[in-house]
Amino acid sequence: MHRLTALLLLALCLHAHADEQVFYQPLNRDAQLTQEQWRTLWKATRAQGGKTLIVQWTAYGDSDFGGAGGWLANSLRSAHEQGLQLVLGLYMDAAYYQRIEGIDSAGLSAYWKAQLGRSQAQQRNVRQGWKLPVTGWYLPMELDDLHFQDPLRRQALSTQLQTFARRLDAPLHISAFSAGHLSPAANARWLEELAGLQLQVWWQDGAGTERLAPLVRQQYQAALSCSIGIVHEAFRQVSKEGQPFRAVAATPHAQAGCHPTAVFSLRYRPWAKGLLTDHGN
């Protein structure tokens, strides 16, 4: 009896962490899916344990994916009908990673201020026009410990994020990844400080990009407090440095302990095969 109870508890724990939160990165080529295909995809996502869909962005560069009456908004309405909660991404500058390269602290702060302004406008646009039930907002500009290695930069960022989050009507989500420029302990303190601003902070486990050795990644994860979510990468990058990003599907890591968990991304999950093509392919 005790053994059966233990197995049931284990099954419940495993189910509780099974893709409960899934990232979806909209790409213009996804417009080719029919509404019936979207319903099939969302139904399968729900059946696989998906509870929340984190949409990486609702505007990317010059593209708004058709706006309030476009394919993305319509597909997300279908996702909600299938029982998925929605965390909606805001505006993403298509040249974000190029623009922050080599920029000084004053320039970085000014750039972030401008981008947060774009995201604020997008949030109002989505809230008023798309008319979707939103449980949270996601800021798609990812943080890293290279461009925010300087404590003064991190402090300026915290101030900007705190002000921005107060203007929203639902919790703000943001993600970060580690490139080895802060120690695991320093990185954990930084992310915990951001979480203290009432943000949902996500840390990408780096298993797909393999920027860091597995043992090093484990040290970074082990240093994180339970409030920091872990994003398990369900892909393996096959492109080399300097090449356009290309990856293939891979089984995400399952162990996250006490942390909230998410999987990146829907595009690489088995039930999306044949509907969403792999990124970069």
pLDDT digits (tens, 9 = 90+) for 44-80: 999 999 999 999 999 999 999 999 999 999 999 999 9
- Quick one: pLDDT band at residue 6, thresholds 50, 70, 90? very low
Lowest mean pLDDT among 59-73, 79-93, 117-131, 231-245: 231-245
- The pLDDT of residue 242 is 84
Dihedral Cα 156, 140, 252, 51, nearest 10 deg: 110
Q: Among candidates 77, 102, 100, which has minimal Cα distance to 88?
A: 77
- The pLDDT of residue 227 is 97
Instruction: Give the pairing of strands 229-233 and 261-264.
Output: parallel
The 3-state secondary structure of 49-98, one letter per residue: CCCEEEECCCEECCECCCHHHCHHHHHHHHHHHCCCEEEEECEECCCHHH
What's the pTM value of the predicted model, to 2 decimals? Answer: 0.92
Whether residue 198 contacts residue 165, with contact meaning beta carbons closer than 8 Å, is answered with yes
Q: Is the pLDDT of residue 14 over 70?
A: no
What is the pLDDT averaged over residues 33-38?
98
Q: What is the mean pLDDT of the chain?
A: 92
What are 175's strand-pairing partners? 202
What is the pLDDT averaged over residues 115-128?
98
- Quick one: pLDDT band at residue 2, thresholds 50, 70, 90? very low
- Read off the pLDDT of residues 25-34 as tens digits, 9 standing for 90 and up: 999 999 999 9
How far is residue 127's CA from residue 68's CA, in Å, rounded to a whole number? 10
Place of tokens 């320093």: 186
Domain 17-272 in CATH 3.40.50.970? The answer is no
Q: Is the dihedral of CA 52, 236, 60, 138 positive or negative?
A: positive
- The pLDDT of residue 216 is 97
What is the pLDDT averaged over residues 13-42?
85
- Quick one: pLDDT band at residue 8, thresholds 50, 70, 90? very low
- The pLDDT of residue 279 is 53
- Quick one: pLDDT band at residue 248, thresholds 50, 70, 90? very high
- Quick one: pLDDT band at residue 13, thresholds 50, 70, 90? very low
- Quick one: pLDDT band at residue 175, thresholds 50, 70, 90? very high
Q: Is the pLDDT of residue 88 over 50?
A: yes
What residues does each domain of the chain span?
Answer: 17-272
Name the strand (E) or helix (H) holding 249. Answer: strand 247-249
- The pLDDT of residue 278 is 60
